[in-house]
Structure 1
Amino acid sequence: MTVIAVCALTAYVAQRAVAVFNDGVRPFLLDFVRGRSTRGAVATVSFGLSAGFVFGLGAPLALATGVLNPWLLFLPTDVLGLLSPKRWLAALSGAAWGAVVVFGLAGANRLAHKLPVDFVTAMQQMATPILYLFTLFPVLAVTRQFGRLSGAVCGVIELALVVTALKLWPKAFPGSVAMAAGVLLLTGLAVHRDLVQRRRADRGRAATKQEPRADRNSDAAPMTGLFRAGATRLRAHLALFMLLGAGMCLLASTHVYAGGEAGAFLIADGRYGAAAQVDFYRALGFIPLIATTALASGAYGVAGFTLVHPVGYLLPGPWPAAAAGAATLAAEVTALSWAGRALGGLPSVRDSSEHLRCAIAQTLDLALLFGSLTAANAMAGGLGILLAGGLYLSNEAMGRPVARMAAAPAAVISAGVVLNVLSWLHLFTPAPR
């Protein structure tokens, strides 16, 4: 019932162009709100940007972990909400999708386990590559922004922390401490660079006795006005965002839902504290993108800065989770204008978040590919690798009709279907379970 209610709510807010999950759709909502674009056109854009992730990432990840995720739940509710001409129809269609996911996933799991080739169990092999390679994203971000030496230092620190954690706390996820150290190092380097550059600029102005020109920020005035209008529109829907935050945090507290790829495997394993850490660090990479697109378009993310996910994992019951989620999204919406100004004054910190986001995508691309090939090997050895790897390479050769991050998990499921057909035709004998 929680899933159905939250899906209904997310479709409702999408219909009103107040919030969507897909960051790529949000910039198009400004033209729709101003009447320069039609509902059907925006829904078409949303479907085009979302379909590959729903069936290539959201569904395989849910099957592999038994834990729901936002790609499976909220990318479709974006499309359904934007397509619906009436608010009640949007809520009803969102609720229907939530019911399809809840009952359909359970049925799909039962069916998959009865097949000759159980590709769902094989896909659990994806967990280790995703969890451990995801640990390295701060190293990649530091290297991209501050060079090889800083990246090497960050890598050595993370490796030492992982080895230490494996030795001293074998039951805990060793990547949590390493990721924390890497993100702190990246943030510290970015703040230090901004402070040094600010001091140099102040000394330069003092040396030349330069006065600030009155028209120095004249070029930024239109963008400032746009941001102000976006912040005003979002604050006008504060009560709706508080309800949305309560629902998202409540859903996360049930531990049947996770906000990220690595977090889903940790939630499935019962490591809620580690999942909260991983998703918190993941959220840091998307805060600048969400903040700027929200201020520019007047539409927020259905999970805000996604901080409601780690908060929800850690809370013991529904009422604390609902209250904390409402407070979290209310604080985010209220502070959006300040966040926009702060990011404008800290260019290196803003850039570090962009590097974090790119590093997360890069590590997950490799982790999902490696994990998918491992799952294919568990299904059928070399034949499984041939099928899954061949489908992935075909997608690359055809110009990636399916996004790279979603292509590998989709290839595993497709390979599993082919292997079951071959088994029924007595052309392939699965390994005994």
Structure 2
Amino acid sequence: MSTTLAAGSGFDFTLAQQLTVIALCALTAFIAHMALAVFNDGVRPFLLDFIQGRTTRSATTAVSFGLSAGFIFGLGAPMALSTGVLNPWLLFLPTDILGMLAPRKWLAPLLGGAWGAVVVFGLNGANNVAHDLPVDFLTAMQQMSTPILFLFTLFPVLAITKQFGRAWGAAAGVIELALVVLTMKLWPNMFAGALAMAVGVLMLIGLAVAKDLRRRREDRARGMVEEVAADDPMASLFSASAARLRRHLPLFMVLGAGVCVLAQMHVFGGGEATSFLIAKGQYAEAAQVDFYRVFGFVPLIATTALASGAYGIAGFTLVYPIGYLLPNPFLAAVVGALVFAVEVLALSWIGKVLGKLPSVRDSSEHLRSAITDTLQLAILFGSLMAANAMGGGLGILVVGGLYLFNEAMGRPVVRMAAAPAAVIVGGILLNLLYWLDLFTPVQG
């Protein structure tokens, strides 16, 4: 399977795609202004104090900006420019900030829509300028696709090892490796990690469910009875939060419709690996990858939503894989709305189920941790490959040096975003050296 993209990945949006992006950015900014949903999982817990009037809009905006800026400029923009595919860090993290920043309800959608316009009309110009430079760092950044796609395949192995020990982890690793080799041999046009990831995730879920069922049998055998206090403050908070979200169900259904339509248009990828798969037209594989990510985020999104009264802009992210596979945007709008309706209405039930399945809940934590670990290594390795492609040893020195400098300063740019940001800064520096006649480009 080829893991390289066409050198000229661009942003030639149709009018319908442009209007969808602008309208969706306006809607997400409006929803963020009302503190009903944000995309950044780290911001959501802070919204409870804002909703209950214990903190100000400006203070909450500062938190949102501090937790999101690195991902916007270090991951969202570089990933979009290198793949030609939009992503949630570029679209929804800025609308989180703009929505919270807006002092008036009517201003939030205007600011969000303006950001959507900047994205759809500005990216193509930036993309063309970058490709015309002597050192084409955007084409070099496409080197990131191979390590991201293949190392991401291993996240179930890491999660199993962390939760169930080395023996199960080793078994999962051997099985995944065998399946990758088998897929490359028998189905060369299929993403090699697709089958391996499916089996790995199923193993993790099976082990977690089996452990919880054993625990419940042992508890029953000992005569232990689960009791929930009627005046449990957390149960009361969860109930109030779920009721708040249900009151705005029509608005969430419109949001679900919009996100699903954007995914169906195939100009948007929900994750790092997914963006490269969408760029290559492998929509079924992209749907599979984003579907597996859902298992790592449902418990986090459900519990933070129930605790804070604010949902996720993409919900449980199920609308991503569903959207990729649907045949037209009209069906995507209907299905996306229905999916969000079911998610919001089922939040309380999901919270209760997760309370009874601690191992499954732990699995989601390990899955998210494993996804972060694999992507951090893949993005760093891919960024160094991009540095070598655009500047050889000097490129590696500059990009690697910027990454290490960021580490030494205490990571002002989050680790996952630091390496792609270093490639862009390094590419600009290499172009300056070329214009000073101090450097000869490796390519371009």
Same fold, TM exceeding 0.5?
yes
Instruction: Write the distance in 1 (CA, Å) between the matches of 2:238 and 2:91.
Output: 29
Q: Which amino acid in the other structure matches residue 152 of structure 1?
A: A
Deviation at residue 217 of structure 1 after TM alignment: 3.3
Q: Describe how 1:104-183 pairs up with structure 2 within 5 A.
A: 104-183=122-201
Q: Which amino acid in the other structure matches residue 73 of structure 1?
A: L
Question: Per-residue CA shift, 1:322-351, capped at 9, x if unaligned?
Answer: 011001101100100010000000000000
RMSD: 1.1
CA contact (8 A) 2:392 2:442 kept: no
- Please name the residue that 1:33 is paired with: 51
Instruction: Write the distance in 1 (CA, Å) between the matches of 2:73 and 2:257.
Output: 27
Deviates more, 1:271-280 or 1:220-229: 220-229
Q: Secondary structure at the match of 2:337?
A: helix
Instruction: Write the distance in 2 (CA, Å) between the matches of 1:388 and 1:160.
Output: 35
Q: Which amino acid in the other structure matches residue 103 of structure 1?
A: F
C-alpha spacing 1:378/1:152, structure 2 compared with 1 (3 Å)? same
C-alpha spacing 1:134/1:219, structure 2 compared with 1 (3 Å)? farther
Question: Per-residue CA shift, 1:114-169, capped at 9, x if unaligned?
Answer: 10100000000000000000000000000000000000000011111100000000
Gaps of 5+ in 2: 1-18
Q: Which amino acid in the other structure matches residue 142 of structure 1?
A: I
- Please name the residue that 1:235 is paired with: 246
Q: Secondary structure at the match of 1:233?
A: helix
Q: Which amino acid in the other structure matches residue 241 of structure 2?
A: G
1:365 to 376, 395, 403: 376
**Do structure 1's residue 224 and structure 2's residue 242 form an aligned pair?**
no
Q: Which amino acid in the other structure matches residue 217 of structure 1?
A: V
Q: Which amino acid in the other structure matches residue 15 of structure 1?
A: H
Instruction: Write the distance in 1 (CA, Å) between the matches of 2:443 and 2:67.
Output: 40
**Do structure 1's residue 89 and structure 2's residue 107 form an aligned pair?**
yes
Fraction of identical pairs, as percent? 70
Instruction: Write the distance in 2 (CA, Å) between the matches of 1:196 and 1:91.
Output: 51
2:424 to 393, 413, 433: 413
Runs of 4+ in structure 1 deviating by more than 6 angstroms, as ranges, are none
Question: Per-residue CA shift, 1:144-198, capped at 9, x if unaligned?
Answer: 0000000000001111110000000001101111000000000000000001111
Q: Which amino acid in the other structure matches residue 31 of structure 2?
A: V
Question: Per-residue CA shift, 1:42-94, capped at 9, x if unaligned?
Answer: 00000000000000000000011000000011101000000111121100000
- Please name the residue that 2:89 is paired with: 71
CA contact (8 A) 2:390 2:443 kept: no
C-alpha spacing 1:432/1:288, structure 2 compared with 1 (3 Å)? closer
Q: Which amino acid in the other structure matches residue 296 of structure 1?
A: A
Q: Which amino acid in the other structure matches residue 117 of structure 2?
A: A
2:39 to 18, 21, 26: 21
**Do structure 1's residue 10 and structure 2's residue 28 form an aligned pair?**
yes
Q: Secondary structure at the match of 1:218?
A: coil
Q: Secondary structure at the match of 1:32?
A: helix
- Please name the residue that 1:56 is paired with: 74
**Do structure 1's residue 249 and structure 2's residue 267 form an aligned pair?**
no
Q: Which amino acid in the other structure matches residue 365 of structure 2?
A: E
TM-score, normalized by length of structure 2? 0.95
Q: Secondary structure at the match of 2:106?
A: helix
- Please name the residue that 2:321 is paired with: 310
Q: Which amino acid in the other structure matches residue 155 of structure 2?
A: F
Deviation at residue 218 of structure 1 after TM alignment: 3.4
Q: Secondary structure at the match of 1:229?
A: helix
Instruction: Write the distance in 1 (CA, Å) between the matches of 2:261 and 2:106.
Output: 23
- Please name the residue that 1:269 is paired with: 280
Deviation at residue 38 of structure 1 after TM alignment: 0.5
Gaps of 5+ in 1: none
Q: Which amino acid in the other structure matches residue 3 of structure 1?
A: V
Instruction: Write the distance in 2 (CA, Å) between the matches of 1:235 and 1:169.
Output: 45
Q: Which amino acid in the other structure matches residue 91 of structure 2?
A: L
Instruction: Write the distance in 2 (CA, Å) between the matches of 1:363 and 1:220.
Output: 42
